[in-house]
Structure 1
């Protein structure tokens, strides 16, 4: 184990691992697309159709196929390796996003059904750069303390991408249509994926991960994951709902489309700051006790957002809400990792990631329906209430952890 104190993690030590900087940089470049494409598609669909409900449904289809087909894409990556799996995925993904750009470039030219079908197909082909990068971290940093620092660095960097992504979209929509953001996001994920799979750290992933899959029978072990998965789903639901509710709020208040990007950037910035502070503190309370408190903090912040009168106040409320996002998700990953058997830790983390994405899909869909019938303040309040109920659930659920002497209750 590393001799570096956990309370003062060294991110520089992570980046000094051979091939880590090159691999990580390429993965981040591709993952920047995740912060650019969804918002661009949402704005483009809203502009083309004039309906928040259609935009919410289209985004739910996009996220739904991406989430629910994630195990299938992960299985392909495990079976054939990142090179053989990710390249065909990114080619299909880019082609479908190109078709969507053409359809949205002419308002009224495509029906909502057609837009939904194309976005659903695109979501099904989304390259899983995040889960694959986390699997690579597990091979690059076998030391437990160093691996935790790598995950922390990965999480904070991802939050910064969700600051940069909306800001890029905000700049683009100031002088170009939202479809320009779709084009940019497509280029980012193509270049990033090609750079990622060409790294020496990625080339032999399949051969080294194969024995672990064989020992676990080729399927994830879900014992002990109920609390982290439930909390992650609640956080994801909040994020998905906020994305659309911010669009609705700015539209009804008469703000420009670039205002959406600044509010969502404030949310991600708060999350990045919270993640850095969470990693820098030596916590006395175990992760199982922190998780419901962090989730409840997010719910309370969203209840506060229901009372905001203007864009500046909404951005401040989003920053406060974001302060709990990254710590809650990181804590969920830690609990999942500690609960899993040694050869199922990557897949345990993947279930948390899937829960976040599934919650985001449900949140976007529900927010689209609510925003068409209720004031945005009531929509924020409803979202905060659901997250508080999620926190209560994580507090009362009994945890059964796989392995000897690893059973506990809340």
Structure 2
């Protein structure tokens, strides 16, 4: 695979890399499915069963299987190559989504069948984000340009999770919620097939010789820990924003605007981070971004009104995309050749696991603990994760791995 290193790294230079625009556009089309599917499943199951408890359980099954099996699915891609693995995986995932849509098209669906379909679909969800980031590392040789590629990827992903629900909302104007699940299936299958047709995608990796086997995932403590802490802080802050609005008797319709401020801040932070020619190592930057995120989220609990809180959330957002982008970049640096997709998948799993755990803990604390203390605890999750990075930077041993790159554990 040839690489390209322009003299002056920029976002425009990223898109001028051979095959980059075609590959990135098709990957984003497929990844848009993840921006539409969650809301579609939630609305469809709620409509079909009339129960928020059932819809919550189905979403939990779907999310858990998506997150916790992602490293295994990524291992298959590292071993056999995305061209062999992603098409059948996307077809199976899309078929299961269609089955879920059929079950929820009309009321009266059995909850057990809904849970089974959602769990099986989540188990097959293609890890397109980690795969695209691994492809970026194949396409781009220059470190400065690779940082910009990761920054562009992170901001685009943020926008997908904003535009996805809006697309579902527009669809609901003339179709039932289950149609959003069908749209998600169409996006993932069509986008994935376009993605794997790109000449930029690498082929399967040969297994490493026995004497060189180390698992390819040494020392991922830092990026995974920080990603998990950031997920806890982010999901906790989002739930606490809604609780703040209710407690201060503001109109609940204002909550999306506060969330939009968070997303806007993240987009700005991601673009700025990608454009800066950093001289400090990625590990040091990661620790600094996580500390900043934790401090701002903790201080947000002191906001006297909703508008101050919105400003604090916008400032917190400035640290979110740089934190996650740098975590992915550091994971790519640490991964051996042929393990890039798995490395990114572990960071992705950390973010999502932290997000689920943060929402669960915040939900349990709201009403029992003052909101200011809840914000402090949410921020502390990112702050403590940053301190963990600092302690391990001084000479922690690599994570022991004995499996070969193409062996699943």
Q: Give yes or no for TM over 0.5.
A: yes
Alpha-carbon distance in structure 1 between the residues aligned to 2:263 and 2:84: 33
Residue equivalent to 1:331: 326
Quick check: 353-362 or 21-30, which moved more?
353-362
Alpha-carbon distance in structure 2 between the residues aligned to 1:25 and 1:194: 12
Residue equivalent to 1:408: none
The residue correspondences of 1:188-227 to structure 2 (distance < 5 A) are: 188-202=187-201, 205-207=202-204, 209-210=205-206, 217=213, 219-222=215-218, 224-227=219-222
The residue correspondences of 1:62-73 to structure 2 (distance < 5 A) are: 62-73=62-73
The answer to whether the 8 Å contact 1:167/1:265 transfers is no
The answer to whether the 8 Å contact 2:152/2:270 transfers is no
Residues 1:282 and 1:269: Cα distance change in structure 2 (over 3 Å): same
* Structure 2 length-normalised TM: 0.79
Alpha-carbon distance in structure 1 between the residues aligned to 2:287 and 2:272: 18
Residues 1:400 and 1:289: Cα distance change in structure 2 (over 3 Å): same
CA deviations 1:65-89 (Å, max 9, x no partner) are 1122123212332344323322222
Residues 1:12 and 1:76: Cα distance change in structure 2 (over 3 Å): same
Residues 1:49 and 1:298: Cα distance change in structure 2 (over 3 Å): farther
Residue equivalent to 1:93: 93
Q: Does 1:301 pair with 2:296?
A: yes
Residue equivalent to 1:4: 7
Residue equivalent to 2:402: none
Residues 1:74 and 1:336: Cα distance change in structure 2 (over 3 Å): closer
CA deviations 1:290-339 (Å, max 9, x no partner) are 32332233233333554668876665444332211111112222333334
The answer to whether the 8 Å contact 2:245/2:306 transfers is yes
> Shift of the alpha carbon at 1:29?
0.7
Residue equivalent to 1:357: 352
Alpha-carbon distance in structure 2 between the residues aligned to 1:46 and 1:320: 35
Residues 1:79 and 1:238: Cα distance change in structure 2 (over 3 Å): same
Residue equivalent to 1:17: 17
Residue equivalent to 1:136: 135
Alpha-carbon distance in structure 1 between the residues aligned to 2:123 and 2:131: 16
Q: Does 1:269 pair with 2:268?
A: no
> Shift of the alpha carbon at 1:359?
2.0
RMSD: 3.7
Alpha-carbon distance in structure 2 between the residues aligned to 1:138 and 1:171: 36
Match among 210, 230, 233 for residue 228 of structure 2: 233
Alpha-carbon distance in structure 2 between the residues aligned to 1:23 and 1:84: 17
The answer to whether the 8 Å contact 2:134/2:340 transfers is no
> Shift of the alpha carbon at 1:34?
1.6
> Shift of the alpha carbon at 1:284?
4.4
The answer to whether the 8 Å contact 2:86/2:192 transfers is yes
Structure 1's unaligned 5+ residue stretches are 403-410
Residue equivalent to 1:406: none
CA deviations 1:103-147 (Å, max 9, x no partner) are 445556433x54433322211110111122222222222344433
The answer to whether the 8 Å contact 1:30/1:188 transfers is yes
Residues 1:289 and 1:85: Cα distance change in structure 2 (over 3 Å): closer
The answer to whether the 8 Å contact 1:216/1:344 transfers is no
The answer to whether the 8 Å contact 1:216/1:343 transfers is no
The DSSP-based 3-state class of the residue aligned with 1:393 is: helix
The answer to whether the 8 Å contact 1:212/1:343 transfers is no
The answer to whether the 8 Å contact 1:292/1:395 transfers is yes
Alpha-carbon distance in structure 1 between the residues aligned to 2:386 and 2:372: 21
Alpha-carbon distance in structure 2 between the residues aligned to 1:350 and 1:105: 33
* Structure 1 length-normalised TM: 0.79
Q: Does 1:162 pair with 2:148?
A: no
